[in-house]
Amino acid sequence: MGDPARKPDFEGLVHEVGAELLRRAAQARPSLFDARGLRGRALARAMQDEQLRAALFRFVDTLPQLRTNGEIAEHLRAYLRGHTLAGAWGRLAASVPLAAAVRASVKRVARNFLVEETPPAIRRTLAGLSRVPAVASFDAVGEAVLSEAEADRYLERNLLLLDCLARDRVAAPNLSIKLSALTPRFDRIDPEGSCRRVMARLEQLMPHIQALGATLMVDMEQHDLKPLVLDTFRALLDRFPGRDWLPGIVQQAYLKGAPEELGELIDEARRRERRICIRLVKGAYWDTELAAAAQRGWPEPVLLDKAQTDAQFERMVDLLFYAGERIYPAIASHNVRSLAYAIARARMHNLRAWEVQMLHGMAEPLMHAVAATGVRIRVYVPTGDLLCGIAYLIRRLVENTANTSIVRQTWLERRDPAELLAPPWPGAASAEEPVSRDGFFNVPALDFSRPEAREAFAAALDTVRAQFGASYPLQIAGAQRGHPDVQESASPAHPSTILGRVEQASVPQAARAVENAIAAFDKWRTVPAEERAALLRIAADLMDRRRHELAAWEVFEAAKNWREADADVAEAIDHLRYYAAQALEIGDWRTTHSFPGERNDLRYEPRGVTVVIAPWNFPLAILAGMTSAALAAGNAVIMKPAQAAQIVAHRFAALLREAGLPATVCQLVAGSGGTIGEFLVEHPAVAAIAFTGSREVGFDILRRASAMRPGQRQIKRVVCELGGKNAIIVDGDADLDDAVADTLSSAFGYQGQKCSAASRVIAVDEIHDAFVARLAQALDAWDYGPPEDPRFVFGPVISAQAKTRIERWIETGRAEAKLYYRGRVPAEGFYVAPAIFIDVDPSARIAREEIFGPVLSVLRARSFEQALDLALDCDYALTGGVFSRLPKHIELARNRFRVGDLYINRRITGARVGVQPFGGMGHSGTGVQAGGPDYVKQFMWTRVVSENTLRHGYVPPQEA
């Protein structure tokens, strides 16, 4: 390659070292591949067969959650169906207690990689390593940390490890820690708070680290946590500046820009005149990083090409070795080429103070070969419960058995040394196409791990604060101005803060708006779809440019936290663009079928004056969604926003006018639902009503709209999206980390004030208690506070009335069921402490009615089938969720769990336009989903023209 540092003689040295490593290593096999019997057969087959490998890993993943023989047998059969191994294990099931045998088998595989967290097991491991000779770094691995109790437990485990190291006077003691396991709230949106929380527990650990003179190695996690990990690491250096310990941090070579960031870290060590250890790895979350980036529409943070990563790794080795005495390099790899490169580099510079790190149980022959060269080896030893370390185990198994695994290439495939030692040769970076659906993209959410994003958002909040108290007059052309009726809009978190004064329409003024719309419609309906779409796209672009400010308004007016507010604006932009595209697709006249002498054409046409009545909980997305669909279709729209979100609505109306939409095709009529809303619904000139809100109001609108009034010329079309009583089923084999974290955000995100929110959990008996306990503990880790402060994920509910209503529901719940958990909230503002009820009878009102607040009812089911029956025993059918790892149950849910949006093994909120069209059936709505392919057509009707073109037996030529 073109790197001048890589002289030919250096490559020669790399090959020489590498050949020596391979020669020594070839004499043994990694112990993983030595397994005999069923386990050996399973692994051997898994190496050959990618599908079997996936099936086995998925099965192993479920194991910690399975208790009985029956459950294990069922999962085994389900995952291995069609694979030859199924028979072998099936026979095993008949002969011996299956659960014990399978668990023992998996534990034995796990023991290759994971050490039991007991002093004797740790002592045995260290003794084994000293024979290599090698030293160790210990790392307590386990489940996700979701509560303070779990973070305490993680701290205790580390204290125990340090105690073992101290008692055995272990040489070069070294502990690896994961910062995100030291607090349940390691959130990049709140860097100071996250850092403070982690530091509180680190401070308990540090005296022991210092007493041992140990290295504390801070693990690197997913990319979006990196800035937070680095900041916390720096804070740790500030807090413990003494030389009585060695700080360490991991750097991942697969990240784009990794060498530059490593350079900054090295500079920092120099500036501080402080030695730090840097463990250089390639990176273990490649799949996760790519999946997360694709789903969010963010650029991939990782290099796509493996060879690029290898090449970058070598550049970073060079940076570390050139950094001098400030850095202690720890080169972590199982790749012969990478290791040979590092050893050759060290020899060239005559460097002694560095080490190679390898994972426990991986590539032992290579470890021995490296040790023989005289380089210090440190083995990274994960400790913990063998079954709870399953995520760790699976990562190692995937790495070992993947086709690109060097372990596999070296020992199983016995690749040619020249090939294994060749310098990495990055191919042309294959830029992957972002997922595009007919030219439509979801606007990516802001990435608040970036300080620029946080600063821009904070600045927007200030801008908006400066506009508090402004007046928002009516904008109805030609309306008579009387004595204005003004409503003050207050902030739910600070009820005494007046955000603005919004003029409310009187009935005569609303009537004037209808007249304007009637007149405007006549012109607007003839504007070509292209032009309408173009205007909506201009509006979308404007909105995109002002997204921070619009979101900031939602933070104050609707009490949405930063991420939720940003997501709402992003969804609004998506709606504008998506419906614009749909209008183009619907187009103009199309021919249905033509015969000689007969021409048949059809066209979708707008319905007329359309009233849009929106709720406050997605103040922009829903208002903009219904409005833009109706406008795209060619209707003249009158918007009646919710009273609780009128300022955001005013901003939206102003933006549409600014984009160039005629003022009279998109009028805003502020006012109360009971007077103005009803008036508009009943108005005989109104052709369509798009309503999103509660069932109560929705049913009332349907009734009123169906009555024919004097002078009314058409049947009104009512499009309505109503409430939900959404259930999440937690199956016996659910992944608890996911089920708990995702239920928490689905049920309590935005204080439960989402139509999609989970308000029932139906837990299968065997998991019920563990699930509820963990959920309550996890919820308890979060504080409630004003949403403009990014430290708070949870805030107040929308209004004093909402608070009273929800508190009444909680009283009902106390009478009907058992209150299991109640949170704490600030006194000022409309806060409702979250509540979890258990032992909820399916007939209880809190199990059947929409509460629209932070209240969760937990029901118990004997089986998955019963859970499904309970979930379906409901008037609503909006969203639903299932956490299960049994394919049969997932399939059953797919077919029978009939709700508008069913989410499997993920949270049930946050539908994306064009990806998860949104809306329900039953009492939840009319079943045509927003953000879906049929939505715009609801605001249209079809008109057909059939023309006989035959004239006295003559067919005009163009038609024949």
Residue whose CB is less far from ligand NAP, 487 or 863: 487
Give yes or no for a contact between 956 and 949, defined as CB atoms under 8 angstroms apart.
yes
Left, alpha or beta for 211 (phi > 0: left; psi -120 to 50: alpha)?
A: alpha
Q: Cβ of residue 853: shortest distance to ligand NAP, in angstroms? A: 11
Are the CB atoms for 771 and 740 separated by under 8 Å? yes
How far is residue 151's CA from residue 898's CA, in Å, rounded to a whole number? Answer: 39
Determine phi and psi for 489, rounding to 5 degrees. -105, 120
Q: Which two tokens stand for residue 25?
A: 């290593």
Nearer to ligand NAP, 621 or 736 (CB): 621
Minimal distance, residue 472 CB to ligand NAP, in Å: 15
If residue 763 lies in a helix (H) or strand (E), which one and from where to where? strand 758-764
Residue in the structure block whose two tokens are 């029978």 = 896
> Residue 138 or residue 876: which is nearer to ligand NAP going by CB?
876
What is the rounded CA–CA span in Å between residue 922 and residue 876?
5
Dist CA 379 CA 364 (whole Å): 10
Q: Give every CB contact of residue 708 below 8 A, 6+ residues apart in sequence.
A: none
Report, in Å, the least distance between residue 504 CB and ligand NAP: 9
Q: Give the nearest distance from C-beta 924 to ligand NAP in angstroms.
A: 6
Contact by Cβ (8 Å): 489, 646: yes
Minimum distance of ligand NAP from residue 944's CB (angstroms): 32
Phi first, then psi: what are they for 790, rounded to 5°? -65, -10
Is the Cβ of residue 246 or residue 722 nearer to ligand NAP in the bound state? 722
Secondary structure element (H or E) that encloses residue 567, with its range: helix 562-586
Question: Can you point out the beta strands (E) in 505-635?
Answer: 590-591, 598-606, 609-613
Nearer Cβ to ligand NAP (354/679) = 679
3-state secondary structure (DSSP) of residue 573:
helix
Angle subtended at Cα 74 by Cα 73 and Cα 80, rounded to the nearest 5 degrees:
85
Write a three-state SS string for 386-449. Answer: CCCCHHHHHHHHHHHHCCCCHHHHHHHCCCCHHHHHCCCCCCCCCCCCCCCECCECCCCCCCCC
474: left (phi over 0), alpha (psi -120 to 50) or beta: beta
For ligand NAP, give the closer residue by CB, 137 or 726: 726
Query: What string of DSSP letters covers 268-337?
Result: HHHHHT--EEEEEE--S-HHHHHHHHHHHTPPPSB-S-HHHHHHHHHHHHHHHHHTGGGEEEEEE---HH
Q: CB of residue 725 vs ligand NAP: minimum separation in angstroms?
A: 9
Cα 712 to the center of its chain, rounded Å: 48
Supply angle C-alpha 729, 732, 738, rounded to 5: 65
If the CB atoms of residues 506 and 617 are measured against ligand NAP, the closer one turns out to be: 617
Query: Do residues 205 and 166 lie in contact, with contact meaning Cβ atoms separated by under 8 Å?
Result: no
How far apart are CB 700 and ligand NAP at their closest, in Å? 5
Shortest separation between residue 885's beta carbon and ligand NAP, angstroms: 30
Closer residue to ligand NAP in complex, CB, 565/622:
622
Catalytic residue chosen out of the listed positions 355, 755, 788, 874:
755
Instruction: Give me 28's structure tokens.
Output: 């043994």
Taking the CA atoms of residue 259, residue 263, residue 266 and residue 272 in that order, the dihedral angle to the nearest 10 degrees is -150
User: What CA–CA distances, in Å, run from 558 to 499, 562, 787?
Assistant: 11, 11, 9
* Closest residue by beta carbon to ligand NAP: 673
Least Å distance between CB 703 and ligand NAP? 10
Task: State which residue, 191 or 752, has the beta carbon closest to ligand NAP.
Answer: 752
Q: What is the dihedral of CA 753, 757, 759, 764, to 10 degrees?
A: -160
CA separation for the pair 495, 43 (Å, rounded) = 63
| 399 belongs to the catalytic site | no
By beta-carbon proximity to ligand NAP, the closer residue of 359 and 720 is 720
Helix (H, G, I), strand (E, B) or coil at 883: strand
CA atoms of 806 and 708, how far apart (whole Å)? 37
**Helix (H), strand (E), coil (C) string for 181-235:** HCCCCCCCCCHHHHHHHHHHHHHHHHHHHHHHCCEEEECCCCHHHHHHHHHHHHH
* DSSP bridge pairs for 877: 921
Q: Least distance from C-beta 618 to ligand NAP, angstroms?
A: 6
Binding site for ligand NAP (CB under 6 A): 613-618, 622, 640, 642-644, 672-674, 677-678, 681, 692-694, 697, 700-701, 721-724, 755, 850, 852, 878, 919, 924-925
User: Given 117, 503, 721, 850, which residue is catalytic?
Assistant: 721
Q: Which is nearer to ligand NAP, 411 or 679 (CB)?
A: 679
CA 548 to CA 569: how far, in whole Å? 9
Q: What is the Cα–Cα distance from 145 to 778, expressed in whole angstroms?
A: 9
| 721 is a catalytic site residue | yes
The nearest distance, CB 801 to ligand NAP, in angstroms, is 10
Q: Which is nearer to ligand NAP, 128 or 674 (CB)?
A: 674
Place of tokens 């108005």: 683
Nearer to ligand NAP, 423 or 495 (CB): 495
Question: Using only C-alpha atoms, what is the Rg of the chain?
Answer: 32
How far apart are CB 712 and ligand NAP at their closest, in Å? 17
For residue 247, cis peptide bond before it (omega within 30 degrees of 0) = no
Q: How far is the CB of 754 from ligand NAP (least distance, A)?
A: 7
The catalytic residues are 721, 755
